[in-house]
Amino acid sequence: MFHSIVVPVDLAEVDLARPAIEHAAQLVRESGGRMTLVNVVPIMPVMMMDTVPVSYEAEIAEKAKASLADLAATVDLPRSQIGTTVRIGGIQHEILAVVKEERADLILLGSHEPHLSTYLLGCNASAIVRHAHCSVLVLRERPEQVGGHEIPAAKLGTAMPATGLPVS
């Protein structure tokens, strides 16, 4: 059973993360483990540095901390079993750093249904799957969340091992 679960959350797409958070909460309840919600504020591109205040990333990170704390408060777990972390940096690098610090044994990712433009997984999810030293579970969107298009049930909740190929 998993005892330390990391759930990356894109605060711009909280609905995508909710199924992963719910699944992680269930695993935590069963194992008595702990879950950490992680949000990463991307580094500002150099070409935009002159157009925003020096404190921009720190201000965004503070807003993200508040939003992530609000999200964590909606999860039906004791506060001792759920934590939040906000980082500034490269998304996959920071998530993997949190996984290492938390000694996580599972990363639970929400992901869009694959399209040609994302080729199986999004860029960040794909990098996390490839480079993680622990198990990674990728939960796909539910059919009612994918632009009204019906998706065969076999594609939902597809687990992705470190090879990046779907498990049958």
The DSSP-derived string for 66-122 is HHHHHHHHTSSS-GGGEEEEEEES-HHHHHHHHHHHHT-SEEEEEEPPP-TTTTTS-
pTM: 0.78
Predicted confidence band at 63 (pLDDT cuts at 50, 70, 90)? very high
Asked, for residue 147, whether it belongs to a domain, the answer is yes
Domain residues for the domain of 85 are 4-155
Q: Percentage of residues in the chain with pLDDT exceeding 90?
A: 56
**Number of structural domains, the chain?**
1
Asked, for residue 40, whether it belongs to a domain, the answer is yes
CATH of the domain at 61: 3.40.50.620
At residue 157, does pLDDT exceed 70?
A: no
Asked, for residue 115, whether it belongs to a domain, the answer is yes
User: Which secondary-structure segment (H or E) carries 160?
Assistant: none
Give the pLDDT score at 91.
92
Mean pLDDT of the chain: 81
